[in-house]
Chain A
Amino acid sequence: MPTDAKRPLRIFNNLSAKIASIPMILTVLVVFVGGTAWTVVHSFTKSKLLPKLNFVGLDQYERLWSTRRWLVSIENLALYGLLSLVFTLIIGFFLAALLDRKIRGEAVFRTIFLYPFALSFIVTGLAWQWILNPDLGVQQVVRDLGWASFELNPLNNPDTVMYGILVAGLWQGTGLIMVIMLAGLRGIDEDIWKAARVDGIGTAKTYLKIIIPMMRPVFVTALVLIASGIIKLYDLVVALTNGGPGLSSEVPAKYVINYMFRAQNLGQGFAASTMMLVSVAIILIPWAYLEFGGRKRG
């Protein structure tokens, strides 16, 4: 609460705080609120090369949902999102649990599992593009060893391309979740483990039945973190496949950028980005309600 409630120089002091907050207030009002509202309003227009307020109702949305490229993008993001969520949680927790077993060299392993997170999606994508290169990469190495029919070429096959992107994404992002899970595991009372051992409950069962339910808040944090990363999926696709082969690895963020800055069809871009906003709201509002609904924030 205000610490300066009864100070004589209140107006002057608050003026300093207000001046200091001008960048925040401008960012919030102009970019976050204003910019978002502007985009939503213009998604109901038929703006092409330049934004114009020539309203056409829901035309852009009708067109959006009948465009194959958008439907493929949504489908890809759903597949990637679901798998990425499940596997990141499983791998992140598994690695954290391994590191929590009082092992030697924990810091070394932690450093190794986390370093990909310091790399950009572009670097990640280019590295995996090279490893998965069909002519010179892992596929060729295994074939040279004598297994001539071996196939590992996910990026050039429309049916498997999203799994190839998933492999690179998991490599980059699991370390972060591991760190968060490890912090959660470290917060669990040693006595829980003792009690479980006294009761003769095995290690795996203790994790599944006792530890994981106790770590619910950590899992929620991880979930929100992974989910907000998934919707942003863009750079990784650009670096790995640029949406190909054909349209088979297109994603919504890329659709938006393409219509806004390449195809010069602003209305479509605005409609698509509004749909992204709506989907984030659908995920976040129930979560915020559950997390903060009962108690006051701040």
Chain B
Amino acid sequence: MVENVVETDTVPQGPRPRRAFSRTNIMLYGTLIVVALYYLLPLYVMIVTSLKGMPEIRLGNIFSPPLEVTFEPWVKAWSTACTGINCDGLSRGFWNSVRILVPSVFLSIAIASINGYALARWRFKGSELFFSILIVGAFIPYQTMLYPLVIILREIGLMGSLWGLVLVHTVFGMPILTLLFRNYFTAIPEDLHKAARVDGAGFWGIYFRIMLPMSLPIFVVAMILQVTGIWNDFLFGVIYTKPDTYPMTVQLNNIVNSVQGIKEYNVNMAATLLTAAVPLLLYFVSGKLFVRGIAAGAVKG
């Protein structure tokens, strides 16, 4: 973060700086701080709520810090909160999500990067047409493809299993990832590719020995994009899995919005934070790369 500050300070951008305590400056920073507090508010409320006991929540103020810090809600959310008849907490959903996430991220990136590479350097008749349809396909509402995929998954025996969902994530991640890799590989000088060809390298040789080592940043960007997207997915999880294999978001919603029982807001907020932890951590750690990932995702689609 310090790095960013230095960088933006050295690149002269926007209007000329003003005196430190001018009226405009006070208004400027005042606005920024108020808006920043507003954006932080939900996170703050979730954290303090998750650390309070239920009696304190009922009597107290949603904004007040906990008088007595308790981690019991976190323990309960993780290991004993109930969804329907299962009372083994969110840990089940967490591990399901991990088991969906790892192969999905690996598979979707492997396929899309090789695909983008073929589209950038080894075009064949019709490759551009397929690519165009792929990009247009990114705009088709998922709802029109949901049921055909149910049939496909049922036919190949993956309906309701984690691998079925992995396949779905790979399919729907393909447009944006292929676009990302195709654009990146196209920007790598073609002479390099030609030189490797002269030296006798083929399709896979160039991919593994030249393109892959040169493209680590784009792989990281793609990974951030996919981890966040797949972890946060709800729609596909709710349709293509069954209670035993529900990903974390689906289980979280079932825990918090269940109609039976007394509402335990502290447990609910702890569960919500547990679900948010993975993408949040990734966001704060990756910083600029995350921004690059979403900016790349935003370019066309």
Report whether A107 and B5 are in contact in the complex, using a CB–CB cutoff of 8 Å.
Answer: yes
User: Bound complex: CA of A51 vs CA of B121, how far in Å?
Assistant: 42
Report whether A235 and B61 are in contact in the complex, using a CB–CB cutoff of 8 Å.
Answer: no
Chain B positions within 8 Å of A1 at CB level: 123
Nearest residue, chain A, Cβ from B129: A28
* B109 in the interface (beta carbon within 8 A): no
If A33-B133, A102-B14, A120-B232 touch, does A127 touch B45 (CB 8 Å cutoff)? yes
User: Bound complex: CA of A197 vs CA of B18, how far in Å?
Assistant: 14
* A72 in the interface (beta carbon within 8 A): no
Report whether B144 and A131 are in contact in the complex, using a CB–CB cutoff of 8 Å.
Answer: no
If A180-B295, A269-B147 touch, does A25 touch B130 (CB 8 Å cutoff)? yes
Interface string of B122-154 (1 = CB under 8 A from A): 111001101111101101111111111101100
User: Bound complex: CA of A274 vs CA of B148, how far in Å?
Assistant: 13
Which among B121, B194, B231, B256 is the interface contact of A120 at CB below 8 angstroms?
B231
Chain A positions within 8 Å of B146 at CB level: 256-257, 260, 273
* A21 in the interface (beta carbon within 8 A): yes
Range class of the A interface residue count: 35 or more
Q: Which of A33, A35, A128, A193 has the most CB of B within 10 A?
A: A35
Chain A positions within 8 Å of B35 at CB level: 95, 98, 113
Nearest residue, chain B, Cβ from A2: B123
Q: Which of A62-70, A81-89, A132-140, A157-165 has 4 or more CB atoms under 8 Å from chain B?
A: A132-140
Q: Which of B67-75, B82-90, B209-217, B279-287 has 4 or more CB atoms under 8 Å from chain A?
A: B279-287
Interface string of A264-283 (1 = CB under 8 A from B): 00100110111011001000
* A149 in the interface (beta carbon within 8 A): no
Report whether A20 and B295 are in contact in the complex, using a CB–CB cutoff of 8 Å.
Answer: no
If A3-B194, A115-B43 touch, does A190 touch B234 (CB 8 Å cutoff)? no
Which among A3, A186, A234, A266 is the interface contact of B190 at CB below 8 angstroms?
A3
Report whether B265 and A136 are in contact in the complex, using a CB–CB cutoff of 8 Å.
Answer: yes
Report whether A193 and B123 are in contact in the complex, using a CB–CB cutoff of 8 Å.
Answer: no
Which among B144, B232, B279, B284 is the interface contact of A36 at CB below 8 angstroms?
B144
* B32 in the interface (beta carbon within 8 A): yes
If A126-B272, A136-B265, A253-B143 touch, does A111 touch B295 (CB 8 Å cutoff)? no
* Interface SS majority for chain A: helix
If A3-B193, A24-B115, A131-B62 touch, does A186 touch B272 (CB 8 Å cutoff)? no
User: Bound complex: CA of A25 vs CA of B125, how far in Å?
Assistant: 13
Which chain A residues numbered 37 to 94 have a C-beta less than 8 Å away from chain B?
Answer: 38-40, 42, 51
Report whether A140 and B276 are in contact in the complex, using a CB–CB cutoff of 8 Å.
Answer: no
Report whether A32 and B137 are in contact in the complex, using a CB–CB cutoff of 8 Å.
Answer: yes
Nearest residue, chain B, Cβ from A288: B136
If A100-B13, A269-B147 touch, does A126 touch B253 (CB 8 Å cutoff)? yes
User: Bound complex: CA of A203 vs CA of B24, how far in Å?
Assistant: 11
User: Bound complex: CA of A86 vs CA of B111, how far in Å?
Assistant: 38
Chain A positions within 8 Å of B137 at CB level: 27-28, 31-33
B289 to chain A, nearest CB (A): 12
Which among B32, B190, B203, B232 is the interface contact of A121 at CB below 8 angstroms?
B232
Chain B positions within 8 Å of A257 at CB level: 143, 146, 235, 238-239
Report whether B148 and A39 are in contact in the complex, using a CB–CB cutoff of 8 Å.
Answer: yes
Report whether A13 and B42 are in contact in the complex, using a CB–CB cutoff of 8 Å.
Answer: no
Report whether A28 and B134 are in contact in the complex, using a CB–CB cutoff of 8 Å.
Answer: yes
Report whether B121 and A3 are in contact in the complex, using a CB–CB cutoff of 8 Å.
Answer: yes
Report whether A13 and B234 are in contact in the complex, using a CB–CB cutoff of 8 Å.
Answer: no
A117 to chain B, nearest CB (A): 7
Report whether B253 and A122 are in contact in the complex, using a CB–CB cutoff of 8 Å.
Answer: yes
A165 to chain B, nearest CB (A): 14
User: Bound complex: CA of A127 vs CA of B299, how far in Å?
Assistant: 30
Which chain B residues numbered 233 to 289 have a C-beta less than 8 Å away from chain A?
Answer: 233-235, 238-239, 249, 252-253, 256-257, 265, 268-269, 272, 275-276, 279-280, 282-284, 287
User: Bound complex: CA of A107 vs CA of B137, how far in Å?
Assistant: 35
Chain A positions within 8 Å of B194 at CB level: 3
User: Bound complex: CA of A180 vs CA of B297, how far in Å?
Assistant: 11
Q: Which of B119, B147, B203, B233 has the most CB of A within 10 A?
A: B147
Nearest residue, chain B, Cβ from A23: B111
Chain B positions within 8 Å of A95 at CB level: 35
Chain B positions within 8 Å of A126 at CB level: 252-253, 256-257, 268-269, 272
Question: Can you give 10 A-B contacts (C-beta < 8 A)?
Answer: A3-B122, A13-B203, A27-B174, A32-B133, A117-B294, A119-B280, A122-B249, A122-B252, A221-B299, A239-B256
